[in-house]
Structure 1
Amino acid sequence: MAGNRGVVYEGPGKVSVKDIDFPDLVLKDGPGVPASNVGRKCEHGVILKVITTNICGSDQHMVRGRTTAPEGLVLGHEITGEVIEVGRDVEFIKKGDIVSVPFNIACGRCDMCRQQKTHICTNVNPERPGAAYGYVDMGGWVGGQSEYVMVPYADFQLLVFPDKEKAMEKILDLTMLSDIFPTGFHGAYSAGVKVGSTVYVAGAGPVGLAAAHSAQLLGASTVIVGDLKEERLEQARSFGCETVNLSKHDRLGEQIEQILGVPEVDCAVDAVGFEASGHGANAGEQPATVLNAIMDITQAGGQLGIPGLYVTEDPGAADTDAQTGSLKIRLGLGWAKAHTFVTGQTPVMQYNRHLMKSIFSGKAQIAKAVNATVINLDEAPQGYSQFDSGVARKFVIDPHGSIR
């Protein structure tokens, strides 16, 4: 049997590359696996040889110690790979297929899946609706920052690339289909971006950059990106966005007025989440900052797309309320302005096939927008460290040297 290695969370601030079990078509006991999920048979699944697997900001929250993730968890929910083994009950996926794996694990059979709400499947996680690979409180499914990984419900979930040769030519773009591109697109789409819209995107990390690029694809006339890091803002400007450096300015509306002539935008996206910082010099962490800011600068009747992660437990929060996900949000402001809020995980399968077509046609240049940077598996800990420092890169792990 082949060996396997993966990126393992070993406690706050520490990840390492370790030997891990070669995947089988069963969910075995391990870190974070609920007792009722142990031994779950997955003959409807496949084994993938991982081609690319990306480091996500959501992974970084765990590595910083800002969740209740258990030590020993194999990380990674952004997975693209080649099918090397198919389960007995798999009918349409074949060995040799190159596929994108939606980070949402979904059965395809429950009421939520039938409504295309695959982000809140009710059958794959006994603890709450929704599941993901290598993530805290998400069913205990083993992550894919590894050489090989098991993917359940393959016929329903997997997006097969129609041309293997062209797929490898575009692999740096296609690897973004598992999460970041659909998540950014979901943020822009659920914010109601359309032709001519003016849009504010909070955060110039990879999801924020993906949301900004998606807003452009949807026809926005002006996309303004706010962040505290000048390097990230420079990346946003590289593909035509306006920017606001929030470490220098604490009055966002005034900065927007300088760009648009009015202090409001049509719609806004929160691509930051619960580790938000206040605006202005030395403001420190203020987890409700972004939500309050986007309500303030979005016009009455506007929509707010909120793909940024918010959690129910944050042991590293500065106050006891925030430790349980209770934030000081000016909900009355949003109510008075009749804002629409769209929150939660992204239902990747609603978007990934169409975004794939945009990539193959050349319309979408997502790898360029997020500055995709390839590293090998052994470089993953260094990638986490650099990502944590705020570099303007999206790290793509290439565990088998398939694209380097």
Structure 2
Amino acid sequence: MAGGNAAVTYLKPGEVEVRTTDYPTLELLDGPGVDPANAGRTCRHGVILKVLATNICGSDQHMVRGRTTAPEGLILGHEITGEVVERGPDVEFIDVGDVVSVPFNIACGRCRNCKEGQTSICLNVNPSRAGGAYGYVDMGGWVGGQARYVMVPYADFNLLRFPDRDAAREKLLDLTMLTDILPTGYHGAVTAGVGVGSTVYVAGAGPVGLAAAAASQLLGSAVVIVADFNTERLAQARSFGCETVDLAQGPAEEQVAQILGVPEVDSAIDAVGFEAKSHGRDSDDAPATVLNSLMGLVRAGGALGIPGLYVTEDPRGIDSDAQSGTLRVRLGLGWAKSHTFSTGQTPVMKYHRALAMAILHDRIHIAKAVNATILPLEDAPFGYEEFDKGVSRKYVLNPNGALDGAEAA
């Protein structure tokens, strides 16, 4: 069915376009960003989804800003919720008509890491390194899902099926956050040791930081402090009960002490990553700033969860070290304070079923927390442009009308 699809396509730094593309098949065809060893891979275990919701992510924005080696023509999008319209002959437990959430990690379910629950570093889906994802540079070349239709491999293992289709559609704007942002924020909180009574500092009030804050509340934290330079995003954090630190107004330790009475916290979450800047609204890139500041803020014996993205190649890095992902981290400080550090992509399947239950039973209202804002697929370039300006919104694309009339509850 050539020409039966449309997808958000990366053209060059600062520019994306919605292009007519081929309807997907159960085969990974050669194309922009596809690892040559993956080209032609047959996916009898896969399904074709009609995309019901697909989100613009900060990780996508890194590519669109030209901060990775993403090639021209790469189809973007790794946050996908959809309805099965076709299934491969080897799919046993997923049926046509099922409404499903797609973890952004692509995992085979067969390798050692998958069997140990480390689905973010599957050994069989990316010939170049451990771990695969949709629509992302160096992650195997699996075609992205900011589209009307997309192919998902290893469907029986990867997909989270919602048993009640009607309930899932009613909560679709919240459930679309299960593909990445909510499990990623939750993983940051869990690995930072957040629990009942914890004091938590979240660096970054973008969508992942807001999700980490909401997840910390779900886990029972006593106080969640969200830090940023962006006053609009800080106001969004306050809208659901967070304390805030405006980094343009002085040192974080002083502001934390005003809130807690002491200049330290039990747990900290880095929701910024490698595009961090030194303190000040118009300051230069300083990719180790967040990590170093968090080591200063976290109490001795505390932990840092690091869901923020760090890369091995940044063509626009501030110096040769930054361009290769080499950062000047004060590891000696972290060592002296016996800190625990947890890094890497989130193993979404570890959390998404439980988080789906929390959404369906109104224990968390994640769409409202991140200010989910619906756009038609053709307005994706506008969404990328606005997101790059720092608006406090999580843009959710609506390729097939499933979100018509939906609002964050």
TM-score range, shorter chain: over 0.9
Corresponding position of 1:289:
289
Secondary structure (helix, strand or coil) at the match of 1:262 reads coil
Aligned-partner SS, 1:378: helix
Give the whole-Å Cα distance in 1 for the aligned partners of 2:361 and 2:110: 32
Aligned partners of 1:280, 1:103: CA distance in 2, in Å?
33
Distance 1:322 1:182 in 2: 28
Deviations 1:146-173 (A, max 9, x none): 0000000000010001111111110000
Q: Does 1:242 align with 2:243?
A: yes
- Does 2:393 align with 1:393? yes
Q: Does 1:37 align with 2:38?
A: yes
8 A Cα contact 1:306 1:343, kept in partner? yes
**Aligned residue number for residue 224 of structure 2:** 223
Is 1:372 equivalent to 2:407 in the alignment? no
Which residue number corresponds to residue 339 of structure 1? 339
1:195-274 aligned within 5 A = 195-249=196-250, 251-274=251-274
Alpha-carbon separation, structure 1, partners of 2:172 and 2:337: 43
The answer to whether the 8 A contact 1:147-1:400 is kept is yes
Contact between 1:45 and 1:151, CA under 8 Å: does it hold in 2? yes
Aligned to 2:402: 402
Shift of 1:401: 1.3
Runs of at least 5 residues in structure 2 that lack an aligned partner in the other structure = 405-409
Aligned pairs for 1:146-161 (under 5 A) are 146-161=147-162
Per the normalisation by structure 2, the TM-score is 0.98
Equivalent in the alignment of 1:314? 314
The corresponding residue for 2:136 is 135
**Partner of 1:35: helix, strand, or coil?**
coil
**Equivalent-residue separation in structure 1 for 2:39 and 2:29 (angstroms):** 5
Q: Which amino acid aligns with 2:300?
A: A
Displacement, 1:280? 3.0
Question: 2:296 aligned with 1:300, yes or no?
Answer: no
Greater strand proportion: 2
Check the 8 A contact 2:229/2:281 in 1, yes or no. Answer: no
SS at match of 1:113: helix
User: What residue is the counterpart of 2:52 in the other structure?
Assistant: 51
Q: Is the 8 A contact 2:10 2:16 kept in 1?
A: yes
Provide the aligned length of Structure 1 versus Structure 2: 403
Amino acid at match of 1:211: A
Cα distance between partner residues in 1 of 2:243 and 2:350: 29
- Per-residue CA deviation, residues 243-262 of structure 1 (Å, 9 max, x unaligned), is 0111222x111110000000
Q: Do the aligned partners of 2:9 and 2:16 also contact (CA within 8 Å) in 1?
A: yes
Cα distance change of structure 1 residues 281 and 92 upon mapping to structure 2, 3 Å threshold: closer
3-state DSSP of counterpart to 2:185: helix
Which residue pairs with 2:84 in the alignment? Answer: 83
Amino acid at match of 1:94: D
Match runs of 1:2-21 below 5 Å: 3-21=4-22
What is the alpha-carbon distance in structure 2 between the residues aligned to residue 273 and residue 157 of structure 1? 26
CA contact 1:185–1:214 (8 Å) conserved in 2: yes
- Structure 1: distance between partners of 2:352 and 2:382: 29
Any unmatched runs of 5+ in structure 1? none
Are the aligned partners of 1:248 and 1:281 in contact in 2 as well (CA < 8 Å)?
Answer: no
Distance between the aligned counterparts of 1:395 and 1:382, measured in 2? 10
Judging changes above 3 Å, is the alpha-carbon distance between structure 1 residues 36 and 268 closer, same or farther for their aligned structure 2 residues? same
Residue 14 of structure 1: CA displacement?
0.4
- Partner of 2:175 in structure 1? 174
